[in-house]
Structure 1
Amino acid sequence: MRILISSLLVSAFAGAAAAQVDPSAQDTVIEFGGPESVIIATAENEHEFVVELAETPEQMQRGLMWRETLDPGAGMLFRYDPVRPASMWMENTLIALDIVYVDEDGVIEKIIAYAQPQSRRSLSADTDVAGVLELAAGRTVDLEIRPGDIVRHRFFDNTETIAEEAVDEAAETETAEETVSDTQ
């Protein structure tokens, strides 16, 4: 009987301790999804980034906190399902970031470039969003990424567009090549 009671007490205390884990604490280990490819289609180009995914409350709370570097081609994509207002802050984030707010169709609604590290200031989307993409500071400026551009990823159910465009381009190229060879 004592063993059973002791086991129950140990289980209760372990469960309470696990429930109190702080995802934003530096020593807490949080596993993220990915890496996966994200493409941003601008008026002029397409830019590919390899991102980690933040979908659970713990992943979303942790984000890129405590990271000392972020490669220019990397980032983190946060998923909001259902779509809702979003606001980010930079507490415990050691590096400056560009924060890209994305609607449910993958359209960029707002960009906050060079978000200040360690700030507790609320950085709001000012609208409902389905995702937030965090990139290394300055990438949106360097690549001329703007509101209205498209973020392509399965979160926004628009990845088929990439494959369809590739097939269309290949067909157009083949048709153009056949036309050139027919005229020669």
Structure 2
Amino acid sequence: MIFQAFSSRVAALIVAGCMWQVPVARAELPLVELGVGMHRIEAELAHTDQARQIGLMKRSSMPPQRGMVFVFTQEARHCMWMKNTLIPLSVAFLDRDGRILNIADMKPQTEDSHCAAAPARYALEMNQGWFAGRGVAAGERIRGIERLPAGR
């Protein structure tokens, strides 16, 4: 009887351990089309608390034209970090009209804060160097922002 109880506990621990190892399935986020200048952006839409919290964590790569747009519930001096994020990113903070306030390069797996220079309503993360490589800078407007749903 003692052995049976012991083996049941061991089995439960093994099952729990195996479940911990199973990667959590990432919910597919809707894609939205954005643009700047002559460049098209396919952005995953992070407009819920859960999507904003997970962001681009645990991804090993991202196609060059792909990014993630974060829609915040209100304008504020939002900050981003790279905890559990494996790829180097650049983030553009945008005002409510989609105008770029500032752009910051972020190193993978760091907890450094990268903040908006003024109250921002959106943040757009792309592969590091995407903005600079296309000559996109503060003051330019990202097209398509006006079609995004409100953050929740």
Say yes or no: TM over 0.5.
yes
Q: 2:118 aligns with which of 105, 127, 139?
A: 127
Taking only the aligned residue pairs, the percentage that are identical comes to: 28
Letter of the structure 1 residue corresponding to residue 67 of structure 2 = G
CA deviations on 1:38-67 (whole Å, 9 max, x unpaired) are 1113xxxx2111111001111000000000
Q: Which residue of 2 aligns with 1:116?
A: 107
Q: Which residue of 2 aligns with 1:6?
A: none
The question of whether the paired residues in 2 share the 8 Å contact of 1:32 and 1:53 is answered with no
Question: Computing the radius of gyration over CA atoms, which structure comes out larger, 1 or 2?
Answer: 1
Q: Which residue of 2 aligns with 1:93?
A: 85
Whole-Å separation in 2 of the counterparts to 1:106 and 1:36 = 14
Matched, 1:48 2:43: no
The question of whether the paired residues in 2 share the 8 Å contact of 1:105 and 1:157 is answered with no
Q: Which residue of 1 aligns with 2:75?
A: 83
> When you count helix as a share of all residues, which structure comes out higher?
1
Q: Secondary structure of the residue that 2:58 maps to in structure 1?
A: coil
The question of whether the paired residues in 2 share the 8 Å contact of 1:101 and 1:131 is answered with yes
Q: Which runs of 5+ in 1 are unaligned?
A: 1-25, 159-184
Letter of the structure 1 residue corresponding to residue 80 of structure 2 = M
CA deviations on 1:65-106 (whole Å, 9 max, x unpaired) are 000001110000000122222100001000000101000011
Q: Which residue of 1 aligns with 2:63?
A: 71
Q: Which residue of 1 aligns with 2:16?
A: none
| Residues 157 and 53 (structure 1), Cα distance of their counterparts in 2 relative to 1, 3 Å cut | closer
Q: Secondary structure of the residue that 1:65 maps to in structure 2?
A: coil
Whole-Å separation in 2 of the counterparts to 1:47 and 1:89 = 26
With CA pairs under 8 Å and 6+ residues apart, which has the higher RCO, 1 or 2? 2
Aligned residue pair count: 127
CA deviations on 1:113-155 (whole Å, 9 max, x unpaired) are 3x100000111113211100000111111101100011112x4
Alignment of 1:2-81 (within 5 A): 27-41=23-37, 46-81=38-73
Whole-Å separation in 1 of the counterparts to 2:108 and 2:85 = 5
The question of whether the paired residues in 2 share the 8 Å contact of 1:32 and 1:54 is answered with no
Whole-Å separation in 2 of the counterparts to 1:28 and 1:91 = 17
- 4+ residue stretches of structure 1 with deviation over 6 A? none
| Residues 34 and 157 (structure 1), Cα distance of their counterparts in 2 relative to 1, 3 Å cut | closer
CA deviations on 1:2-51 (whole Å, 9 max, x unpaired) are xxxxxxxxxxxxxxxxxxxxxxxx9333424321111113xxxx211111
